Amino acid sequence: MQILHVCAEMFPLLKTGGLADVSGALPIALRPLGADVRVLLPGFPAIMQGLDISGEVVSLHSFAGELRILFGQTAEGVGVYVIDAPHLYARGGNPYQDGNQHPYSDNHVRFAVLGWVAARLAEGVDPFWRPSVVHAHDWHAGLAPAYIAAVGHPARTVFTIHNLAYQGVFSPSDFAAVDLPAHFFSVNGVEFHGHLSFMKAGIYFADRVTTVSPTYAHEIAGAEQGCGLDGLLRDRGEALSGVLNGVDDAIWNPANDALIATSYSAEKPTAKAKCKAALQLSMGLQENSDAPLFAVVSRLTEQKGLHLVLERLHEITSRGGQFVLLGSGDANMEAAFRVAAAANPTQIAVKIGYDEAFSHQIMAGSDVIMVPSRFEPCGLTQLYGLKYGALPLVRRVGGLADTVVDCSLENLQEGIATGAVFDGFSGDELARGIRRMFALWARPKEWKAVRKTAMSRDFAWHAAAEQYLQLYRALGA
């Protein structure tokens, strides 16, 4: 079975968020199951530099000008097609925005090309390899199922929604530039409230639609989290399902993580204390093993509930706890966290930006990882926390609800608790969760038992890979 994954980024070549972790790990997890998997990526400079390019597959004339399809491999041996089009991809800023954080004005063309090339590969422009399934990820690849439908469905298609809130919506005048049949711009197509929607295209035209957790699949079919597409998602109910993301054990594993102060495991967790001391030292916090260390590793957005954390930081510090944050995003939030750290440097530490190595060190050194999201399609942060014994404090939503078991009395008695879960999206609800964490911390025996249970949970990619393989087979691939 030949599977082509289509996405905008892929770890370790290029990462701006969790999408890259998925596209980096899932193809590798599918290989032992007998799938022949390749990935199609835009030719961003970091991707071009990180691949071992073996040669050119084909040169194509597209609506976006001349481009070349090159083939190479990642260091992990994953085959990658890359679109060599410097006029589209060789730019400053990040893949989606310029240095001033403004989306590129031609993003509709830059990412339409990604879907267009996927259709060419489905038609067989590579004489040596042709996919039976094209699996497109998030809005950037949302036009792939549309282009494939437009040429008669030479491959079956799967579209995965990683975050429905980011939809790739463009002006109606931009439709003419993407070279789809005119009748595709309709309510039964890519039109969304008079605009061009890449996300809607993927949902409408794909043979199957998945999300990154079962609970999120249910949530987005309702008005509150459907982002205006809930009606279409309900119509596609039989084709919609949720497959929980996994954790790449080769990268996220405290037993062999070279990025942390010392290794430890669920069976031998005592060295985690050394990681905590190293984190406190590096961030200028008071070295105190008795103070529970709460952490956030996140984009700083309202969706992630970080304004609630700001509002309730005193619930942590007034009880003798500590707090460390790694993240960037909303400028006002960045400034507010900096102010809080400056006012209380022995208990609060903040690092603005993203640092992959430091994110590992936070997971290893913290006692609690906070993910109080308004909505959360899957969430990888809490999965990393579970793996590293940083007990998740999360809101009962999306993938957070699917992966964290609350430390209620009955769950503690049954030995299944792995963290603390609260319901309402408010400062009061978060404060109750914080207090429950302190109550558990005050019972060291129970804390250690919950930590061991959390670290023993299996969220490796093999389970997700098997579910995707079953889905591909159900399509007749």
pLDDT, tens only, 338-355: 999 999 999 999 999 989
Residue type, 50: G
**pLDDT value at position 16?**
87
DSSP symbol at 53: E
H or E stretch including 37? strand 36-42
Structure tokens at 33: 């199951």
Q: Which residues of 149-181 are buried (b: 16+ CB within 10 A; e: fewer)?
A: bbeeebbbbbbbbbbbebbbbbeeebbebbbbe
Q: At residue 477, does pLDDT exceed 70?
A: no
If one counts every other C-beta atom within 10 angstroms of the C-beta of residue 357, the result is 10
The sheet that has 169-170: what strands, in order across it? 169-170, 195-197, 191-192
Structure tokens at 262: 């010392």
Quick one: average pLDDT of 163-192? 97
d(Cα 117, Cα 59) in Å, to the nearest integer?
A: 11
d(Cα 263, Cα 254) in Å, to the nearest integer?
A: 5
Q: Are 8 and 114 in contact (CB under 8 A)?
A: yes
d(Cα 438, Cα 213) in Å, to the nearest integer?
A: 29
Quick one: average pLDDT of 359-381? 97
Instruction: With cut-offs at 50, 70 and 90, classify the pLDDT of residue 94.
Output: confident
d(Cα 90, Cα 96) in Å, to the nearest integer?
A: 12
Residue 264 β-bridge partners: none
Question: Is 387 flagged in the annotation as binding?
Answer: no
**pLDDT value at position 218?**
97
Quick one: average pLDDT of 410-428? 97
The mean pLDDT value of the chain amounts to: 96
How would you write 365-400 as a 3-class SS string? Answer: HCCEEEECCCCCCCCCHHHHHHHHCCEEEEECCHHH
Measure the CA angle with vertex 135, ends 134 and 139; round to 5°. Answer: 120
What is the model's pTM?
0.92
DSSP symbol at 7: -
Express as a percent the part of the chain with pLDDT over 70: 100
Output phi, psi for 12, to 5 deg. Answer: -95, 10
* Contacts of range 426-432, beta carbons closer than 8 Å, 24 or more positions apart: 426/308, 427/308, 427/311, 427/312, 429/395, 430/305, 430/308, 430/309, 430/311, 430/312, 430/315, 430/372, 430/393, 431/312, 431/315
Q: At residue 99, does pLDDT exceed 90?
A: no
Instruction: Please write the tens of the pLDDT for every residue from 379-403.
Output: 999 999 999 999 999 999 999 999 9
Q: What are the structural domains of the chain?
A: 2-246+461-474 (3.40.50.2000), 272-456 (3.40.50.2000)
Structure tokens at 282: 């590096």
**pLDDT value at position 61?**
97
Q: Are 201 and 189 in contact (CB under 8 A)?
A: yes
> Which one, of 108, 112, 37, 52, lies nearest residue 82 by Cα?
52
d(Cα 26, Cα 246) in Å, to the nearest integer?
A: 8
Q: At residue 215, does pLDDT exceed 90?
A: yes
Measure the CA angle with vertex 19, ends 17 and 23; round to 5°. Answer: 135
Quick one: average pLDDT of 25-40? 96
Q: Could you tell me the CA-to-CA distances from 298 to 30, 330, 362 in Å, in that order?
A: 28, 11, 12
Instruction: Please write the tens of the pLDDT for every residue from 260-297.
Output: 999 999 999 999 999 999 999 999 999 999 999 999 99
Quick one: average pLDDT of 62-73? 97
Q: At residue 329, does pLDDT exceed 70?
A: yes
Q: Are 399 and 378 in contact (CB under 8 A)?
A: yes
The SS3 call for residue 253 is coil
Instruction: With cut-offs at 50, 70 and 90, classify the pLDDT of residue 476.
Output: confident
**pLDDT value at position 284?**
97
**pLDDT value at position 256?**
96
